Structure 1
Amino acid sequence: MSSHWERLDDSLRPSVLASVAAFERARPKLERITAEMESLVREVMDDAEDKPLFVTSRTKTVESFREKASRMVAPEPDAPPALQFPEPLRNLTDMVGVRVITTLPGENAQAANLIKRRRNIFDCRGDREKDIGSIESGTYGYSSRHLILRSIQNDVVRAYQEVLDPEAKANGSYMFELQIRTVFAHAWSEIEHDIRFKAQDPRAWSPFFDRQFTATAAMLETVEQAFSELHDRYETVTSFWDADGEGKVSLTPNRIKAVWQTLLPHVDRKADDDWGWAAELVAAHGLTKTIDLAALLQPAIISNVRKALDHRYSPGPDRLLDDLLLWQFGQRHIDLTAEDPALEQTPRRDSLQRRHQQMQRYRKASGF
């Protein structure tokens, strides 16, 4: 696969070679800018609520610089050949690149907003999302947030500028690129870059590669969504245990329904069911706060109840909640929620007594 340098018009080669020589001479100072920008980004990310997995950076290589500096604009009739970047040392914003690698897609916006608010360090000159076009066109591609940032009165940048152009005034302002993407998108991008952009022989390419990259991008989006949903559910569940926050919310019928559907979505009722019965059952034992219900709906308790009663049919929420309360409170649950024992017919009391006896036998056999 021929490169831009190989296709470059001979009349433009002296200009590109001069730029490459200047870049090579200034590159050691540019590497210091790279380290400085990475350090500043890390400093900003220390204030992030969700810390990124890692921050990394790179300085453009001489070969990569020459290749990009050799790009020509599309030729026009009777017009001489022209470079896309006539002054690459001034026009290119990707000679220094910093990457912030996050865990979940939602963290990308958080990181970008945090960076953009630090106006005393960076001036944001560009902000775009690489996946917007694919979303709007109904296709798939890799997702990444790209910011073009300008440093403000930075001494390390001044040292570079003095080497690059000793006669010009060094103002400490330098444009560089910041990419923010998830670890999944990062892995996808690295593999795609190795295969798609580093390929030297076009004969080794196959349309099947494009199809596979599109398919993996679609799977990547699905996986990220699944992990995002898991994270949101985890945040919701842990909030139930905050005694001074969500945990202290009163157990109204709708609150019980919401907590139950979060913790036990596989054991549910019809969406329009009234959960007033549940509020009455838990209130009978003084369970009035969200944290009380969260403590009752624990996997170990549910597992023991299922083993003790050996349900022939999977119980719904009404039966399972009744059994959980019976497991926790025993005879007290029967006395508080069943019919008066003096009545002629006591079907609920009889059923609870049978289940209570099964639980007692299980406890004894299991060494509780």
Structure 2
Amino acid sequence: MASNWERLDPSLRDSVQENVELYERVRPALKLVTREVLLTLRTMFKDTEVMPLFVTGRTKTVESFREKISRTEKPLEPGGPLVLKFPDPFRTLNDMVGIRVITKLPAENAVAANLIKRQRQLFDCRGDREKDIGSIESGTYGYSSRHLILRTIQNEAVKDYQQVFNPDVPPNGSYFFECQIRTVFAHAWSEIEHDIRFKAEDPRAWTPHFDRQFTATAAMLETVESAFSDLHERYEEVRSYWDVEGEGAAPLTPNRIRDVWRTLLPHVDRKVDDDWGWAAELMAAHGLNQTMQLAGLLSANRITEVRQALDHRYSPGPDRLLDDLLLWQYGTEHIELTAEPADAVPHPRRDSLLRRLKQIERYRLTQG
């Protein structure tokens, strides 16, 4: 199928060709502008709160430039000939230099965008929009990408380019370029979708089933992104439990124990309205009163060993599991601190703890 250039009316070709020849002449200098802003952005992200997976840049090829400026649209007056969509491309196009910042998670897009926009001594942000091909409001799926239009400020590489472009005009170092920020999932989807939909050698090789497949994969990717975001939030929360000067030092109130437990062991839970005061009492008996101490007690490896040692017939609830973990850790001391006195009659808790402690001791002997 014919390209935009091949379909272009002969009356418009001279104008397009003139701009293409100019672009071909200045492109080497423009590549240095791309290199400069790319290095600047890469340096900007070092030692910051967000580290992109990668930051890439490209200078539009001559072929791509010609194809884009060969686009036409209907004139303002009905019945007239088609007109060029970009009659003055060097003034209106912002994507001859393009930068992409690829992140891991959707929340990082906003952080990265704000970080760039704060560098006012380097860039002036002249546009910021969320490009959604598919959105919640329309009930469709696609990819989301943050698009910034940035203007360089007193950039030396830009001044060199401007000297090549027009030596008669004093260079000011200001140049508009586009910076796209998107997740690695959105990036993969958009690249494949763009190659098939817009860069296919023969657009006639298309079927509506492709649209359906792209929509389905976009929906799956959105679900995967959401799952990874939840996983990251849980990881950050769990990691905070080991912060001695922060969350790790938070006191073990009943509600705190409940929240930590449900984060670390969501599959071993009690009824929503249950009081966790019993857990606070058991922990306090051993002087355990900080979040970090509870997180350390709920070690996955220790829980596995406790369950093997006691050969639980049924999956234990939080009360039984916490009791067994403390018994594993403190042995006889746990019995003396939390069970009935030895001379009490009857003493069912003491009997139960002594029986379970013998099981633990036998298990340890068999495990060497």
For this structure pair, what is the TM-score category when the shorter chain's length is used for normalisation? over 0.9
What is the Cα deviation at residue 82 of structure 1? 1.6
Equivalent residue for 1:42?
42
Q: Structure 2 counterpart of 1:142, which letter?
A: Y
Equivalent residue for 1:330?
331
Equivalent residue for 1:269?
270
What is the Cα deviation at residue 361 of structure 1? 0.5
Equivalent residue for 1:12?
12
Indicate the SS of the match to 2:142.
coil
Preserved CA contact (<8 Å) 1:38 1:57? yes
Equivalent residue for 2:344?
343
What is the Cα deviation at residue 133 of structure 1? 5.3
What is the Cα deviation at residue 131 of structure 1? 2.5
- Residues 233-274 of structure 1: CA deviation (Å, up to 9, x unaligned): 111111111111111000000000011001100000111110
Equivalent residue for 1:63?
63
**2 CA distance for matches of 1:350 and 1:287?**
24
Alignment of 1:21-100 (within 5 A): 21-75=21-75, 76-100=77-101
Equivalent residue for 1:174?
175
Instruction: Say whether 1:136 aligns with 2:137.
Output: yes
**2 CA distance for matches of 1:47 and 1:322?**
44
Q: Structure 1 counterpart of 2:51, which letter?
A: K
What is the Cα deviation at residue 138 of structure 1? 1.3
Aligned length: 367
Indicate the SS of the match to 2:41.
helix
> Which deviates further from its counterpart, 181-190 or 10-19?
181-190
Indicate the SS of the match to 1:134.
coil
**2 CA distance for matches of 1:339 and 1:320?**
19
Equivalent residue for 1:209?
210
Q: Structure 2 counterpart of 1:263, which letter?
A: L
**1 CA distance for matches of 2:256 and 2:92?**
58
Q: Structure 1 counterpart of 2:11, which letter?
A: S
- Root mean square deviation, CA, Å: 1.2
Q: Structure 1 counterpart of 2:282, which letter?
A: L
Indicate the SS of the match to 2:135.
helix
Q: Structure 2 counterpart of 1:27, which letter?
A: R
What is the Cα deviation at residue 42 of structure 1? 1.0
Preserved CA contact (<8 Å) 2:52 2:103? yes
What is the Cα deviation at residue 48 of structure 1? 2.2
What is the Cα deviation at residue 346 of structure 1? 0.8
What is the Cα deviation at residue 7 of structure 1? 2.1
Alignment of 1:147-166 (within 5 A): 147-166=148-167
> Which deviates further from its counterpart, 100-109 or 69-78?
69-78
Preserved CA contact (<8 Å) 2:145 2:181? yes
Indicate the SS of the match to 1:181.
strand
Q: Structure 2 counterpart of 1:308, which letter?
A: A
Q: TM-score, normalised by structure 2?
A: 0.97
**2 CA distance for matches of 1:136 and 1:42?**
34
Give runs of ≥4 in structure 1 deviating > 2 Å: 78-81
Q: Structure 1 counterpart of 2:187, which letter?
A: H
Indicate the SS of the match to 1:118.
coil
Equivalent residue for 1:3?
3
- Residues 287-334 of structure 1: CA deviation (Å, up to 9, x unaligned): 000011011000111011100111111010000000000100111111
**2 CA distance for matches of 1:178 and 1:2?**
30
Preserved CA contact (<8 Å) 2:133 2:143? no
**2 CA distance for matches of 1:199 and 1:106?**
32
Indicate the SS of the match to 2:137.
helix
Q: TM-score, normalised by structure 1?
A: 0.97
Structure 2 gap segments, 5+ residues each: none
Indicate the SS of the match to 2:78.
coil
Q: Structure 2 counterpart of 1:190, which letter?
A: E
